[in-house]
Amino acid sequence: MNTLFPIYVKMDQVRTLLVGAGPVGLEKLQAIFRNSPQAHVYIVAERVDEEVRAFLADKPTASLSQRSFEVEDLENIGLVVLATNNERLNAQIRQLTIARNILLNVADKPTLCDFYLGSVVQKGNLKIGISTNGKSPTMAKRLKEILQAIVPEEIDEALVLMQQMRDQLKGDLQEKIKVLNAHTQELVDKNRS
């Protein structure tokens, strides 16, 4: 059973530390910035791949320090992502994040993670997160491909219209919910036919 609680983090308001700047670090950076282009990410790594430097070239909210991790790197950090294969360093940082109540993700080490970076389907303002509870990122990737293909491009237009309708509705919250639920049910019923 998947007991994970799905949340969407405002990465432009939460400073993230990424330790590691190789191929896995690049993958994590791409995922972060694809989903949150204004994310604040601080990268620390002894070795930095040229692909990472090139990726960061047009990311003003990202900064890079080419050196070893230091405990002070955790100051003012809300999330940590580890993209290293140094098990001792990963374990050390895990203990530090626990002591500081900082959430941690360790690439390919689900037992060390407080959260996972799932597959994401995005069509305009619609974002669907997919989690396999760390069991199979490959399956999540396949499901993402299926959902990406079947969710219509027009969904964003519908979302904008729903926002406009919600903004124009009068009455209390319960009444607004009732009207919006009825309208969205009509949309679902039309698409089933």
What mean pLDDT comes out for the span 109-113?
90
* Of 47-51, 76-80, 155-159, minimum mean pLDDT range: 155-159
Confidence of residue 168 (pLDDT cuts 50, 70, 90): confident
* Of 30-39, 57-66, 177-186, minimum mean pLDDT range: 177-186
Q: Are strands 15-21 and 79-82 parallel, antiparallel or unpaired?
A: parallel
Query: If you write DSSP's letter for every residue of the chain in order, what string do you get?
Result: ----------TTTSEEEEEEESHHHHHHHHHHHHH-TT-EEEEEEEEE-HHHHHHHTT-TTEEEEES---GGGGTT-SEEEE----HHHHHHHHHHHHHHT-EEEETT-GGG-SS---EEEEETTEEEEE--TTS-HHHHHHHHHHHHHHS-TTHHHHHHHHHHHHHH--S-HHHHHHHHHHHHHHHHHHHH-
Query: Which is more confident, 162 or 188?
Result: 162
Nearest to 48 by CA among 82, 20, 78, 69: 20
Q: How far apart are CA 20 and CA 47, in angstroms?
A: 8
Q: Does residue 106 surpass a pLDDT of 80?
A: yes
Sheet holding 15-21, edge to edge: 62-66, 40-48, 15-21, 79-82, 103-106
Q: How far apart are CA 190 and CA 146, in angstroms?
A: 21
**pTM for the complete prediction?**
0.84
- The residues, ordered by sequence, that sit 6+ positions from 143 with a Cβ below 8 Å of its Cβ are 119, 130
Q: Does residue 186 surpass a pLDDT of 80?
A: no
Q: Does residue 184 surpass a pLDDT of 80?
A: no
* Of 7-16, 57-66, 115-124, 180-189, minimum mean pLDDT range: 180-189
What mean pLDDT comes out for the span 23-35?
96
Confidence of residue 1 (pLDDT cuts 50, 70, 90): confident
* Of 20-34, 78-92, 111-125, minimum mean pLDDT range: 111-125
Q: What is the pLDDT of residue 182?
A: 78
Query: If you write DSSP's letter for every residue of 100-140 in order, what string do you get?
Result: HT-EEEETT-GGG-SS---EEEEETTEEEEE--TTS-HHHH
